[in-house]
Amino acid sequence: MALHTVSGIKLPPFSLPLPHRHLGASPSGGGISSGLYASSAFPRRRCGTLAAVVRCARRTGKRRYPSEKKRLDRRHKEQLRQTAPEEGGVAREAGFWRLSKLAVPASDDPGKDFLGVSPPLLQAIAKALKFPVASMLPEEAFSVIRKSFDARKILKEPQFVYTVDVDAKKLLDMEPRTWDFIARLEPRLGIVEYMSDERVATDLISMLNVHNKVSDDEHGTRDTVNNGSISPTRMKPRVAIVGSGPSGLFAALVLAELGAEVTLLERGQPVEQRGRDIGALAVRRILQSESNFCFGEGGAGTWSDGKLVTRIGKNTDGVQAVMKTFVHFGGPPNILIDGRPHLGTDKLVPLLRNFRHHLRELGVAIRFNTRVDDLIVEGGQVKGVVVSDSNLQPGSVDQKLSFDAVVLAVGHSARDTYSMLLRHNVDITPKNFSVGLRIEHPQELINNIQYSELAAEVHKGRGRIPVADYKIVKSIGEGDVKNDIEQVDQNRSCYSFCMCPGGQVVLTSTNPLELCVNGMSFSRRASKWANSALVVTVSSHDFEPFQSHGSLAGVEFQREYERRAAMMGGGNFVVPAQCVTDFISNKLSVTTLPPSSYRLGVRPSKLHELFPPYLTEALQQSIMMIDKEMPGFISSEALLHGVETRTSSPLQISRHKETYESTSLQGLYPIGEGAGYAGGIVSAAVDGMYCGFALAKQLSLFAGDIEAIFGKAQKQTGSVKY
């Protein structure tokens, strides 16, 4: 049999099958003889022969096929035409137009702290509207929705990029000569979009107050008069929320506003005492196991950069409700407009204090210094929790508390909680996460790399230009090189994580025998250092040496390298460190390290021997790739700190998509970062908010449709967007 060759591969000849005839059709009517139908199917694969399988991969984004791009463009244009009023129609006199990607050169813009409509921005708006005289446009008709800074090298010069809403009625009332230009405005996806109503999201508290008022008006007041005295119509459902991070706080807020009796249990301290405990750690090396950078009011994100960026859609109503709730409790209004919003630790502390006061006004019982040691389970359902004073030894003082539901909103460092859940056979599955090192440069060096001559206008966060940061993702292919655990042909993602411009490296250990670090910064980002984690993804294949720990294999993987880092540092929370130039050369030639922002001391160490070779090589390759894009990234002033392991939860607690209830234990509602469904302040808060509404619906406290208000929640199977 003749063989055909394609790119050197020999394949047997094959033919495509003929189409099957519809049932009941006449053989003569289709022009194909009935004898052909018997041979129209693919032949079965024979043993020992090479089967050719032709697959057409689905492409997304910029890799789409040209025909698919054209089809999508036609569909989008048709959708835009349907939503926008007819060109030249009277209906265009009302409504709003959203203009996106309006670029203003950095040299012309008033600067990062100016959030109004400037003359250079009016020129960009006039260009989008094709209006000839920008000075004739009234500033009052425009609202800045988003402002970000773009300093990519492909641009001629750095620029501020705006998204602006145009109030058509106000614009035409104040400047009638713009009518012809509004009438001819052509909708373009992501550039010019029409809205019949202004998209104004409100904060969660105002939204719930409106709901409660409408509910009372429709169903009467919640209380009834009995013999001259007011008594409740029924007992309030009792809900325990374990953990006062973003997910726990927002779940508590929703449930308390809707009428549940909420108890918030936090193993750590309120932010005031927590700040003093962290100060004692930084100055006197005293680690409080329950009050530190990970545990305490606000969660791990409180003493971090306070980033509010998210990948679940920053313009969605759910995210906007969370952001406006932050502003309600004292957050700066600019986080609603800034393209890369962040709060900083100094802004988060008073915000959390205000949040706590509001919850207590709603009747929420907040118990700090209270650790949940066990669940009370009867008949496969959670009936309460067993708690103890977290300042005392485990098991010394126990107290049983009864609840109708328990919301588990712990962080990813609550490893004792994971072990407790396994004792109750809660369904837990290992999840991919990332590990690596934290790299630190002088902030001035990063400013120069990113901004060139504009670096002089940063002024430690007080200038017109924002402090420079970076975000980098690289894919590293391991080829056919086998590692210690027989892992072959895997591509790993290497990326920067929790980049803190103008920040410092901090200790996030919860055990004195383990060492891990993170970054933090204050709102102004005025420190002289810039730090970021450089991490590489790890999966269940990497956890094989720890499979005896079952679902907690990823946790043991973290612990192993945290212990190694502690030994490398020599104890007493000293961090092992290495110059980047030495790390990529697999040597330790520099014994006098450059300055570090880490306050507890660094020790010259062979960090290239900390991880398995395949992880080290992936980190080394990514650093060299970054240096090609950012020349100067590999520098004698750049210092690597070990180790960064707690980028996200190493596991996921299974739950139902609609109800948020555990799939294996009724009455338990795992949420937030510790449960594996979030990875940051905003996504955790949104997850807690959705869970609050879902649980309130089960408890007959809420009859509405949460998705009708906020849209669908983030995907909860497979890869969760953070």
DSSP H or E stretch at residue 419? helix 415-423
120 with 262, same domain? no
What CA–CA distance (Å, rounded) separates 292 from 670?
A: 23
- Is residue 138 in a domain? yes
Q: Domains in the chain: how many in total?
A: 3
Poorest-confidence range of 49-63, 282-296, 631-645? 49-63
498 with 553, same domain? yes
φ, ψ at 528 (rounded to 5°)? -90, 10
φ, ψ at 210 (rounded to 5°)? -65, -45
343 with 459, same domain? no
Q: Is the dihedral of CA 623, 626, 631, 632 positive or negative?
A: negative
Which stretches of 329-414 are DSSP H helices?
345-361
Cβ-based neighbour number of residue 626 at 10 Å: 20
627 with 516, same domain? yes
Q: For residue 701, what are the domain limits? A: 238-371+651-656+667-706
626 with 574, same domain? yes
φ, ψ at 434 (rounded to 5°)? -140, 150
CATH of the domain at 172: 3.30.70.2700
- Is residue 10 in a domain? no
What CA–CA distance (Å, rounded) separates 688 from 694?
A: 10
CA 331 vs. chain centroid, Å, equals: 19
- Is residue 580 in a domain? yes
pLDDT (tens digit per residue) in 469-518? 999 999 887 543 444 444 433 678 999 999 999 999 999 999 999 999 99
pLDDT band at residue 229 under the 50/70/90 scheme: very low
Q: What is the pLDDT of residue 216?
A: 65
From the list 514, 557, 517, 515, the residue with the least C-alpha distance to 539 is 557
Q: Is the dihedral of CA 435, 437, 442, 445 positive or negative?
A: negative
- Is residue 319 in a domain? yes
What CA–CA distance (Å, rounded) separates 540 from 547?
A: 9
346 with 456, same domain? no
Strand, helix or coil for residue 200: coil
The residue assigned the tokens 């004739």 is 136
User: In the predicted model, what is the mean pLDDT of the chain?
Assistant: 86
- Is residue 719 in a domain? no
Strand, helix or coil for residue 100: strand
Strand, helix or coil for residue 296: coil
The answer to whether the CB of 694 falls within 8 A of the CB of 257 is no
264 with 153, same domain? no
147 with 281, same domain? no
Q: Which of 139, 173, 195 is the last residue of a domain?
A: 195
496 with 638, same domain? yes
pLDDT band at residue 314 under the 50/70/90 scheme: confident
Q: What is the pLDDT of residue 715?
A: 54
pLDDT band at residue 311 under the 50/70/90 scheme: confident
- Is residue 225 in a domain? no
CATH of the domain at 671: 3.50.50.60
What CA–CA distance (Å, rounded) separates 699 from 251?
A: 14
Identify the bridge partners of residue 442 per DSSP, sorted by sequence position: 529
From the list 502, 505, 508, the residue with the least C-alpha distance to 519 is 505
- Is residue 1 in a domain? no
> 525: number of CA atoms within 13 Å, CB side?
28
456 with 526, same domain? yes
Q: What is the pLDDT of residue 27?
A: 38
For the whole model, what pTM was predicted? 0.85
What CA–CA distance (Å, rounded) separates 301 from 282?
A: 18
What CA–CA distance (Å, rounded) separates 245 from 249?
A: 6
**Is the pLDDT assigned to residue 44 strictly greater than 60?**
no
pLDDT (tens digit per residue) in 97-136? 999 999 999 999 999 999 999 999 999 999 999 999 999 9
| Residue of higher predicted confidence among 291 and 397 | 291
Single-letter residue type at 134: A
Q: What is the pLDDT of residue 411?
A: 96
- Cβ-count burial of 627 within 10 angstroms (0-12 exposed, 13-18 middle, 19+ buried)? middle
What CA–CA distance (Å, rounded) separates 678 from 716?
A: 10
% of residues, the chain, pLDDT over 70? 82
pLDDT (tens digit per residue) in 344-368? 999 999 999 999 999 999 999 999 9
What CA–CA distance (Å, rounded) separates 578 from 580?
A: 6
Strand, helix or coil for residue 560: helix
pLDDT (tens digit per residue) in 633-658? 999 999 999 999 999 999 999 999 99
359: CB partners within 8 A, 6+ apart: 249, 252, 253, 256, 262, 264, 366
The answer to whether the CB of 45 falls within 8 A of the CB of 51 is yes
**Is the pLDDT assigned to residue 407 strictly greater than 70?**
yes
Strand, helix or coil for residue 517: strand
**Is the pLDDT assigned to residue 34 strictly greater than 70?**
no
pLDDT (tens digit per residue) in 69-108? 777 767 766 666 666 677 766 677 888 999 999 999 999 9
pLDDT (tens digit per residue) in 511-570? 999 999 999 999 999 999 999 999 999 999 999 999 999 999 999 999 999 999 999 999
566 with 683, same domain? no
314 with 361, same domain? yes
What CA–CA distance (Å, rounded) separates 411 from 676?
A: 9
- Is residue 399 in a domain? no
